[in-house]
Amino acid sequence: MGRTIFHVDLDAFFVAVERSLDPSLNGRPVIVGGLGPRGVVSTASYEARKYGVHSAMPMAVARRLCPHAVYIRGSHERYRTVSRQFMAILRDYSPAVEPVSVDEAYIDMTGSERLYGPPEQSARLIKERVSADTGVTASIGIGPNRLIAKVASGESKPDGLLLITDDTATAFLAPLPVRKLPGIGPRAAEALGRLGIETLGQLAGTPAGPLRRALGPRQAESLLRRAAGVDNSPVEARTEAKSISAETTFDHDSSDRAHLSGIILELSQRVGAKLRKSGKHAASVTLKLRYSDFSTVTRQTTLHGGPVNGDTAISEAAMRLFEAALRQRHAPVRLIGVGVSGLTEEAGQLSMLNESAPNDTAVSMAMDTIRDRFGPASIRRGRQA
């Protein structure tokens, strides 16, 4: 038997939470995000999306497009509380739950028919439970793998349910625009457009050679597999890691401030990459210093702007701890470590309530992509160049 994978996605999550608290917002265009001059849209209601407003858009642009909307700064704590409820509900139906962000997760429901009935029936049970317990609606895509389930949930929004089987997957994917495939951004779509490729069916039937020349071998091969609906990745039920860290021991002790600062930046980027890969954000940053006499100090700071996953936020906090340590003792160092803790299951949406976090996260993720493709030394931030 094949797998049965659900992708469960809460609809316009932040807006839905605000509406559950204030029903007068129902039916009105509502936009949640940072409201300052550098603010970014985190979530827009479907009424606001009709005017072209979307997540990650500068708030100033959103105000021009939809000046009559209700604008709300939002609350980290409110959304975290509902997110925890949501994830707990999903775990009542299967132990194999992989949170992707604060408002979406994959569930492996393979073999659950005896408990909850056929997939569509169990999906309806989950939808009803989420709505009753949180006041938020969910869209669920059901497929034989993660990829198809993800695309199906997107096509079922809002408040929908869509089942795609092995037999119907090719016909389902073929007419969809290439941007519907997770991982295809604007630039890749432009490159495909220059090859005359507009749909996933066209992409799946394209010879590999032109794609390799346009996108590079690795991305071309991945897109060909995924456009055909091939995805063997498992749903990984994540254990709750308490922290993520990286450290390095020097061949020779160093008291060179510039050198040590560069190492802290490099370690921060390594930690940030691990953090983003885990789908987590961190509330605290820790710096560890071991001196030439083997004495060790550990300093920690809590990030007052809320949990982050961008390299700059981590490195700046680590550098503040380093400067404080230098004021206490300036001696040769043999080991440096950077770590993060206070990990939470939340994604960029919550960070968008912070005026500076979105750019940090976006740049860091772009650098992750480049390093994955061209190697760890392929791109560096300015202080490392």
**Using an 8 Å Cβ cutoff, are 372 and 273 in contact?**
no
What CA–CA distance (Å, rounded) separates 372 from 216?
Answer: 13
What CA–CA distance (Å, rounded) separates 338 from 317?
Answer: 10
What CA–CA distance (Å, rounded) separates 336 from 329?
Answer: 15
What average pLDDT is seen over the chain? 88
The predicted model gives 334-354 an average pLDDT of 75
Residue 25 DSSP SS3: helix
pTM, whole model, 2 decimals?
0.67
- DSSP3 helix / strand / coil % (the chain, rounded to 5): 45, 20, 30
Split at pLDDT 50, 70, 90, the class of 92 is: very high
Split at pLDDT 50, 70, 90, the class of 361 is: low
Q: In this predicted model, which residue has the larger pLDDT, 162 or 214?
A: 162
Give pLDDT, residue 218: 85
Give me the catalytic one of 98, 104, 266, 346. Answer: 104
Q: In this predicted model, which residue has the larger pLDDT, 1 or 92?
A: 92
Q: In this predicted model, which residue has the larger pLDDT, 47 or 78?
A: 47
What CA–CA distance (Å, rounded) separates 286 from 368?
Answer: 22
* Residue 104 designated active-site: yes
Q: In this predicted model, which residue has the larger pLDDT, 163 or 191?
A: 163
Residue 60 DSSP SS3: helix
